[in-house]
Structure 1
C-alpha cells in the first residue's frame, strides 16, 4: 500500500506578513521531513506537500490553527515515493498570477458549484433552471492535453495571464448560459470565475477543482488524466499516477 501522503491546498486570505510566515512554515515543514512547494502572497497561500502521513496532517492542523487558514481544505492522494526533490517556499506578488489587481478573491470567494451539483447538471444536460452549461477549462494548453471534461471550452492559453483576453474573445460562447470554470485544484478557476462575473457573465467555479471532482465523482464526464506539478506528472480518476505510456502519449 502506498505510504506517502500528498496534499494540494490553497486559500485566498489576507496575509500581511508573507515573508515572516514563509520562514515559519519552512521550519515547520522541514522539521517534519516534508517536501514540495509553498507559495505565499498577500492574497493567500498555495501549497503542494508530501511526506509521512502523520507529519503532513500535523502540518495542516498547525496551519489551520491560525484563524486566517481555518477554512483551508486539502485534496489528498497517495504515492509510493515523495514526488518532490526538495522543499521550496516562495513569496510572490500573487499565488496564481493573473495580473488583474481588481480581482481580489481574498475579499470574497467566487460562487462555487459542488462536484455533486455539477454531476447532476451534466447528467441532465442543463442546470436546475434549465440553462445550458458551459464548462471552461482555465488551465494551460499542455495541461488540457492530458485530459479534460467532455465538451469543455479550451482556449489554448499558454499562461493564466492570457485568460482575460481569451474570455473577451470568446464572450459570445458564454452569454446567457451558466458557466462553470475549472482547474486542477481550484485556485485558477476561482480567479477566473470572479473575473467573468465582473464582466457580466453568470460564472461559477468547480469547488475543489479536478482533483476534488476525481475524489467525489471519479471519472464521470472526464476524458484522460489530470496533469499535476510534481514528479508523478499526471493522475487518473482514482488519484493514482497514470501509466508512463499514457504520459508519453500526452506529451
Structure 2
C-alpha cells in the first residue's frame, strides 16, 4: 500500500515533455503507445466501465472476493513456475502447496484457505524472471486492452496464457465453457483497477504518463521483491531511469585512475 501511494503521487506530478521533439529513451514509441492508450481508454469508458460499475454496485463484496480468489488461483501456476525459475526453491514449494490447497480445500480457489494456513501469496511472472536474470526492460509498450508492458515483460503474455488453468479447461471442454469465464475474469480484473483509475482521472495532469511511470516503477519494485537498490530510487523526470550503469561505471573508473 505504501509503494502504491508513492507511485500515485509521482504519477500525479508527471507532465508532458516540452515540444515533444526528443524521443524518450524509455518510451521511443510514445506516439504509437499514446494512440493505443487513447483507443483502449475510450473502449473502456464506453463498454467496460458501465458494466464494471454495475458489478461493483450489485455484486456483494464477499462474492467479489471469491471471484477474485478464483481467477488468482487459475493463473497461479505461472507464479509457481517463475518462483522456481528465479531460484526461489522454498517460495516455489510454498506456492505449489498454496495452489494445491486452494484448488482443493478452497473449492477451486473460491476461498483463500492457504493464506489462513500461513502460505503467503506471491506475485511472479516471466517478465520478472527475465529481470532477475539481468535482462533490461527495453522500450515501454502499451498493449491494446492488456495495458502497460515493455519489450521484456511482453514475453509473459504467452507464458501467462499457457500456464493458466482456464486455457486448458477451454481446450478440454470447449469455448462455450471458457468464453463466459474469460469475460467474467476481464470484469473482475477491471473492477480491481477501479480505485487506481479513479485516482488517475482525478489527479493526473497527463494520464498516459501517470500510467507509464507508475507501471515502470511497480515492475522494478516487483523484480526486486520490494528491496530496491538505491540507484533505482529515481527522479521520474530524468530522461532514462532504467539506463544501464555502464556510463557511471566508466566515469567512476576514470576518476579512480586519475587519483
TM range (shorter): under 0.3
TM-score (norm 1): 0.27
Larger radius of gyration: 2
Q: Could you say which structure has the higher strand fraction?
A: 1
